[in-house]
Amino acid sequence: MQDAIILGGGISGLTAGYLLQKQGLDLSVLEKNSEPGGPISTARQEGYLVERGPNSLLLPDPWVERWLAELALSDQIQESPASASKRFIVKNGRPVAVPASPLQALTTPLFSFRGKLGVLLEPFRKRISEEQGDVETVASFVRRRLGPDFLDYAIDPMVSGVYAGDPQQLILEYAFPLMRGFERDGGSIIRGALRYKKRRKRDGTAYKKRSISFRDGLGILPQTLSRKLGNRLWLDSNVTKVDRVDRGWQVTWERAGETFQGVANNLIVCLPAYAIKQIVWADAVAEQLQDTPDLKYPAVHSLALGFRREQIEHPLDGFGMLVPSKEPHNILGALFSSSLSPGRAPNGHCLLTVMIGGIRRPELANASEDELIALAMPDLERLIGANGSPCFSLLHSWPRAIPQYTSEFGPWRDTLRGLEKEFPGLYFGGNSIDGIAMGASILSGKRLAERIRLLNQS
């Protein structure tokens, strides 16, 4: 009988496992893939350093910084340069810098005069009822409070960049709860944001978030946690069955043709929604999961392209560019990866990470690398002046990339939380319930470990 078994060796499961191990608990972490970390993975090829998944980590609070220092990763940290705060959004076939000041907001070509007026009038618009607000889509909220211009050329591309999703489908309360909270607490986004900032300053919880990476890429974080866990981490282990037993949970998994079983007081599940449903659960759990709608997971391609620097006319002086759905292009956007951190490309070269697919282009789910390059290059030629063929390419495709926090998410979350209450010792975390950002997934693992620590103390 172990203290805990953790299903899923992504960043949430690894974080929870590491912190529980620090508490002196006996545990196992089971991961289906041959490498830990889920989408957080780094490759080195031909002098390029390529992130297969996230390209940066936005530090969400001071604890994460202290935790990275505890893991001896502080000397690995690379802060994004000041220029990386500059974002571009494509309008009329060219990248336009997102306004960074009130003066730029007044002069930007991103929005029409009517669109700018809509933003200025936002504090004077009425809020809707709580019942309506709880089911309002991101698109409806932004159109209501800020106008269609802001939706089309700010929020739509941002949603595409974060979720690879559609603002017409995402529910604001689930996908961007902070924005919903601004209207609820302040009557408007602007007033609510100002109150939130003042409250955090008054409470001493204000924190300036920083975007970072690591010298050897983000993959160094799950690799470090893997080494800390040692033989407690089981890779290439496919969980097939979970049964309820006296005082705990029995888990069955397969590895290299062999079947294994373990029993633990606590079961922590940090798996994608579809993977949770694929497990054969004890009847009482299975019935509730079966009655819950599935979350959508669109396919996304991450296409790394290397060029000689003179092949790109654009200065690449920013984080990257996002493409609104109204613009006639094939790509969702492109990150200027070699501008975000040093060492991403050989001298005299640059690296782009082009995102393709998502909810917008489901028909591209099975496209090959050559097909995707052929789709991307005309866009890159028009938007940033790319000329000639790339001298390096590396494709990583995510068939089920990012959970969509649409109307199905509410019943899904309620089911998982209900199961936790009904079955002591069962916990759920990770991006299928606690937010999709890398920082949110780290904090999800921390909360899981904290819940078990408090339970053991009671």
Q: What is the pLDDT of residue 39?
A: 96
CA–CA gap between residue 57 and residue 68 (Å, rounded): 12
Domain ranges of the chain: 2-40+219-294+406-457, 42-100+210-216+298-401, 111-203
Q: Tokens at residue 380, please?
A: 């890159």
**Domain 42-100+210-216+298-401 classified CATH 3.90.660.20?**
yes
Contact 195, 186 (CB under 8 A): yes
Q: What is the pLDDT of residue 443?
A: 98
Mean pLDDT by 10 residues, the chain (458 residues): 97 98 96 97 97 95 96 95 90 94 86 91 85 84 94 96 96 94 91 91 87 96 98 98 94 97 97 97 94 96 98 96 97 97 96 98 97 98 97 97 97 97 96 96 98 79
Q: What is the pLDDT of residue 453?
A: 85
Residue 34 burial by CB count (10 A; 0-12/13-18/19+): exposed, middle or buried?
Answer: exposed
The CATH number of the structural domain formed by 2-40+219-294+406-457 is 3.50.50.60
Q: What is the pLDDT of residue 247?
A: 83
Is 111-203 the same fold as 42-100+210-216+298-401?
no
Q: Tokens at residue 81, please?
A: 């340069």
Query: 111-203: what fold?
Result: protoporphyrinogen ix oxidase, domain 3 (1.10.3110)
Contact 207, 246 (CB under 8 A): no
Read off the pLDDT of residues 125-146 as tens digits, 9 standing for 90 and up: 988 877 666 789 999 999 999 9
Chain-centroid distance of CA 147 in Å reads 27
Contact 197, 48 (CB under 8 A): no
Q: Which residues contact 10 (CB under 8 A, 6 or more apart)?
A: 31, 36, 37, 38, 39, 40, 222, 270, 430, 431, 441
